[in-house]
Amino acid sequence: MKIVLATHNQGKIREFRKIFSDMGVEAVPISEIADIPEPEETGHTFEENALQKARYYAGKIHMPVLSDDSGIIAHALGDRPGIYSARFAGQHGNDEANNRKLIEELRGFTGEDRKGHYACAIALAWPDGRNITVEGRCEGIIRDFYKGNNGFGYDPLFYIPSLGKTMAELTMEEKNKISHRGKALRALVSKLASLRFD
């Protein structure tokens, strides 16, 4: 089975390819299939955005397309930045600016008030209109200093108390076991196993 990944984020592409290769599924980024403008994200939830993007690309290239929408949620900030995580500081995909803004907005919060979670919704859409959606989440503490060189996005700030490490200190294998994206993908695989899709 070949699945097209509706993302240009190299960090996500690495994670998806690793997980899918272990399952014997070929994952190919959309950039290797066609040069298609990205759709505007107009959903109000991670799931709505993921499904919107997967359906859009599946209709354009006539292949199964997987899309995810994910982000970090700081409980003390009224569950922000949420679906705006990638453009929290204004410019889409500027990890450093987004991290600095999150640190600044959480300034003054300590201990339990720094709790948050990563959330991920994954949608897999077929050209004929069929689709599957799943979600996963990972709980942690959002710190105000960086640690670790792995991962991407908010990973250097996101501390997992049960492991004593930030997401950016984990190997790819460790991260895929506990991450929001890893959990959502396992839920997707479970759904695929119970359904018959060509």
Q: What value does the mean pLDDT take over residues 25-33?
A: 93
Nearest Cα residue to 158 out of 78, 69, 85, 83: 85
Q: Is the pLDDT of residue 60 over 70?
A: yes
Q: How confident is the model at residue 189 (pLDDT cuts 50, 70, 90)?
A: confident
The total number of structural domains that make up the chain: 1
Task: Find the catalytic residue in 22, 35, 68, 69.
Answer: 69
| Angstrom distance (rounded) from CA 23 to CA 127 | 23
Q: What value does the mean pLDDT take over residues 24-36?
A: 92
pLDDT at 18: 83
Q: pTM of the full predicted structure?
A: 0.90
- Looking up tokens 């960086």, which residue turns up? 146
Express as a percent the part of the chain with pLDDT over 70: 98
CATH code of the domain containing 137:
3.90.950.10
Q: Which residues are annotated as a binding site for Mg(2+)?
A: 40, 69
4-13: pLDDT as tens digits: 999 988 888 9
pLDDT at 198: 47
Q: Which residues are annotated as a binding site for substrate?
A: 7-12, 70, 152-155, 175, 180-181
135-173: pLDDT as tens digits: 999 999 999 999 999 989 999 999 999 999 999 999 988
Q: How confident is the model at residue 93 (pLDDT cuts 50, 70, 90)?
A: confident
pLDDT at 196: 56
The DSSP line for the chain is -EEEE----HHHHHHHHHHHHHTT-EEEEGGGT---PPPP---SSHHHHHHHHHHHHHHHHSS-EEEEEEEEEEGGGTSEEGGGGGGTTSSTT-HHHHHHHHHHHTTT--GGGGEEEEEEEEEEE-TTS-EEEEEEEEEEEE-SS---SSS-TTTTTEEETTTTEEGGGS-HHHHHHHSHHHHHHHHHHHHHHHS---
Do residues 19 and 176 touch, judged by C-beta distance below 8 A?
yes
Q: How confident is the model at residue 86 (pLDDT cuts 50, 70, 90)?
A: very high
Residue 167 sits in which domain range? Answer: 2-194
69 annotated active-site:
yes
Q: Is the pLDDT of residue 56 over 80?
A: yes
Q: Is the pLDDT of residue 57 over 80?
A: yes
Give the number of other Cβ atoms within 10 Å of residue 79's Cβ.
Answer: 14
Task: Lowest mean pLDDT of 16-25, 99-108, 165-174, name the range.
Answer: 16-25
Q: Is the pLDDT of residue 24 over 90?
A: no
